[in-house]
Amino acid sequence: MSEEAAVPDLAFESATNLARMLREKRVSSRELLDLYLGRIERYNPQLNAVVTLDGERARAEAQRADDETARGVTRGVLHGLPMTVKDSYETAGMRTTCGAPALADHVPGRDADAIARLRVAGAVIFGKTNLPAFAADFQSYNDVFGTTNNPWDLSRVPGGSSGGSAAALAAGLTGFEAGSDIGGSIRNPAHYCGVYGHKPTFGLIPKRGHIPGMPGSLSAADISVLGPMGRSADDLDLGMDVLAGPDDAGAVAWKLRLPPPRRTSLRAYRIAAWLDDAAAPVDGEVLRRLVAVVESLRSAGVTVDEGARPGVTLGEATDLFGRLMHPAIAAGLPEETFEMLRRRAEAPAAAEASWEGLFARNVTQRHRDWLQANEERAQLRARWAALFRDFDALICPVAPTAAFAHDHSVPPGARTVEVDGQRRPSIEILAWAGLAGAAYLPASVAPAGLTSAGLPVGVQIIGPYLEDRTPIDIARRLADVIGGFIPPPAYTERARALEGS
Task: Give 317-365 as a 3 state SS string.
Answer: HHHHHHHHHHHHHCCCCCHHHHHHHHHHHHCHHHHCCCHHHHHHHHHCC
**58: helix, coil or strand?**
helix
What count of other Cβ atoms lies within 10 Å of the Cβ of residue 46?
12
Instruction: State the catalytic residue, choosing from 88, 140, 162, 185.
Output: 185
What's the order of all strands across the beta sheet hosting 225-230?
177-181, 225-230, 196-199, 443-450, 456-462, 393-397, 270-273, 303-305
Phi, psi of 135 (to 5 degrees): 60, 35
Q: Which residues, 6 or more positions from 70, have their beta carbon under 8 angstroms from its beta carbon?
A: none
Q: Which residues contact 273 (CB under 8 A, 6 or more apart)?
A: 290, 294, 304, 305, 306, 308, 394, 395, 396
Pairing mode of beta strands 82-86, 124-129: parallel
Is residue 25 annotated as part of the catalytic site, yes or no?
no
DSSP 157-180: ---SSSHHHHHHHHTT--S-EEEE
Residue 161 annotated among the catalytic residues of the structure: yes
Collect all residues with Cβ–Cβ distance below 8 Å to 461 and sequence separation of at least 6. Answer: 393, 394, 395, 443, 444, 445, 446, 471, 474, 475, 478
Active-site pick, 28, 29, 140, 161:
161
Q: Contact, 254 vs 246, CB < 8 A?
A: yes
Strands 196-199 and 124-129: unpaired
Single out the catalytic residue among 86, 128, 199, 207: 86
185 is catalytic: yes
Could you give the 3-state DSSP secondary structure of residue 419?
strand
Biggest CA–CA distance in the chain, Å, is 72
From CA 443, how far away is CA 462, in angstroms rounded? 4
> Which are the catalytic amino acids?
86, 161, 185
